[in-house]
A and B are shown apart, each in its own frame.
Chain A
Amino acid sequence: MSSTPLKQSAITSYPRFIGRALWLATEGSFAFYAWMTALTAVSLVGANAWANQVAGGMITTNMTDHVSWGLYIANFTFCVGLAAGGVMMVIPAYLYDDEEMHKVVIIGEAVAIAAIVMCTLSVVVDLGRPDRFWHLIPGIGKFNWPISMLTWDVIVLNGYLMINLHVVGYLLYMRYLGRKPNGWWYLPFVFLSIFWAISIHTVTAFLYCGLGGRPFWNSALLAPRFLASAFVSGPAFIILVMRILRVTTGYTAPLGPARTLIQIIRVAMTINLLMLVSEIFTVLYTGSAHAAPLNYLFFGDHGKTGLVPWIWTAIGMNLIGTALFFTPAALERSQIRVLACLLVIVGIWIEKGMGLIIPGFIPSTLHEIVEYSPSLLEWKVVAGIWGLGLIILTLSLKLIVNVFTSRMHVEENQISESLNH
């Protein structure tokens, strides 16, 4: 059998596979439809809010020239971490040849795909001129690479999306065909994605820490802190997803991977908190120029305390969540595990979002204290982004489950038949 017919068949059968997968992924119970309808409704509210923002100008947000980035970029930062964290799971799976982890890895990659889409949307809604988006496209626009860190981010995020789409798509397709995946077709990409996962978060940290005028961000610890917290939020999110899958579809992974995930969270969260303490100590003990934003964040400054409740909530959630992860109950009782996951996810969302982006601007570079709290419109847009992200995640998870539980596959004889034609 020559390779040509195989190629041709792949060219036509892969789109067919995707079409069918999408068809089946939109099949489900009443609860599934209710869930999808709810998500669609939330996304539409977000789309409407964004359209109003574009029509009315960004005055409809509560951002100002003093706090020029807000909830959107905060959410972006968290989603980058989620995307990176999702794929970090690849490392143990392939380095230890841990077969059990493979079931988890594919979930992680699905989370990564949804998270990257949310990242891109978070940046797009932050643009004052979304109609000029094409200026960012290399070739037809003017791409300030490699000087601007933002161009690096555009490259790594899109590259990451491509890599993950390829790996997930290929593995599922092979499974669907009932064939053993060819290592040459995906292992290089898996290893590339490990490097890439770290790079997306490092580059995103460089986006902020490269700005000398913002002492709060201008710290060498920022990138490591980003990575450490990504190693927490990613696995925690995956544990949650696995739990939901177990309840709704019966798709289960053995306890081994869950233990591995919790071990990762334990170590990463400890490192994250250690680095946070180290940062706070260095700044507050020396009382350097970095102190003003931290003071504002934790204690308020000149009677303005907008972020104080946020950050202490985050610290409380992170500490309680971490403590829970360290109890044996986290391994044994799923409620404790779910609670701990929820706590650290929300905790890190605040710490890396509102707790990291906003204090970069308060006080401003001229030391004016202009506070920021997101407008209702901004909340709607971010909710809409999460709605769409969850739609993508739900569909891809259904697809994965369908393939892995053999609800969707091609009979072996059919392939050989068609190939022999």
Chain B
Amino acid sequence: MTNIEPNQSADSQASTHGDSPGTDPFTRRAAIKGAFATLGAAAFVAAVSPLRQAAKNTSAVEFMQQHYTELSPEQKATVIARLEAETKEKYGADVTIADDRPIPGTKFVYAINLSVCNGNGKCVEACHRENNHDRSTNQSYIRVIEMPKGTMDMEKGSTTYAGVVPREDKFYLPVQCQQCDEPPCVDVCPVKATWKEEDGIVVVDYNWCIGCRYCEAACPYHARRFNWKQAEVPADEINPDQSYLSNRVRPVGVVEKCTYCLHRTRRGRLPACLEACPTGARVFGNILDKNSNIRWILENKRVYILKEELGTKPAFFYYFD
């Protein structure tokens, strides 16, 4: 009763050029079509063969790995052991990857004294080394803009300045992730691969990000970086002191960002860019601590935030003496 065999009508035969009416279409034509289909499939397999190379870099375990927030402590330990082994295998470096969690009662805030910053770029370099950035591109989470005095319009600035600093008619504006309280980058992520933690740091799960770069488009501070290729770092330059959500060696094809060096700051230490600053322009601390340096600055200095009109509520302040 299910036998609705559509009749090969004369009409349809007429449409198939070259075939005499009545020829069984499932013989010669089928053979030709089959041959073409096979050829096409073979050509397709050949065309996408570079994927096999890429597949080698992703194990089945990694492929199936769950979101960071859903990993049990045991799963986390397994994942971290795997990542440490991978770093040893690919970079030849022995590293320790911790899983640093926020310190209760802490909200990190950063401030930079624009009257003092002279644009020497030591922070840029310190970030580069601390966070195991790609050596060939001098990647860093910090960019410093040389601005003419008398304006806050970044359009008049330049990041490609070089030579002797500071120039007399300029001031220098270092920009990195502002760890916004209303982070647009977090809102736009389609897979919740990035989120804001209790101490205010916006983090990325490098093993969950799909690499769509929507967050990069959404960030008003150019704070996010994409791993266009696997970072190249010599074994002796790898910073072995790593954390899962911060400076561990990132996989290719995912987005990363400044984490206020959470592998240091969540252990009570100062961020690498601050320690590297020779002018003492950088101040870091816990805004919930009434006696902290950062509180004193916010209460006593003329403070400015970048792109306030966008409503991102940065946890990053610029001040003047």
- Residues of A that sit less than 8 Å from B by CB: 5, 8-9, 12-13, 16-17, 20, 23-24, 26-30, 40, 44-45, 47-48, 50-52, 54-59, 63-66, 68-69, 123, 126-133, 135-136, 141-144, 147-151, 154, 207, 210-214, 292, 360-361, 363-368, 402, 406-411, 414-415, 418, 421
Contact = CB atoms under 8 A, between A and B. Distances in A.
B191 A54 contact: no
B234 interface: no
A211 B192 contact: no
Contact of A407 (B2, B11, B58, B218): B11
A26 B17 CA distance: 12
B320 interface: no
Contacts of A127: 210-212, 253
B252 A57 contact: yes
B52 to A, nearest CB: 8
Interface residues of B, number: 77
B69 to A, nearest CB: 9
Contacts of B16: 24, 27-28
Nearest to B221: A365
Interface of B: 1-7, 9, 11-12, 14-17, 25, 29, 33, 40, 43-44, 46-51, 53-55, 58, 63, 67, 143, 145, 154-155, 157, 159, 175, 184, 187-193, 208-214, 216-222, 224-230, 251-255, 307, 310-312
Given A59-B229, A364-B222, A54 B4 contact: no
Contacts of A9: 1-2, 4
A238 B218 CA distance: 35
A213 B219 contact: yes
A129 B226 contact: no
Given A131-B63, A410-B6, A411-B7, A48 B12 contact: no
Nearest to B69: A142
Contacts of B217: 68-69, 211, 214, 360-361
A265 B53 CA distance: 48
Contacts of A421: 1, 3
A47 B227 CA distance: 22
A142 B252 contact: no
Given A135-B193, A144-B190, A154-B190, A57 B254 contact: no
Contacts of A363: 155
A27 B15 contact: yes
B87 to A, nearest CB: 18
Given A12-B4, A144-B189, A135 B218 contact: no
Nearest to B173: A366
A151 to B, nearest CB: 5
Contact of B208 (A16, A66, A132, A368): A132
A66 B219 CA distance: 11
Contact of A13 (B4, B53, B192, B209): B4
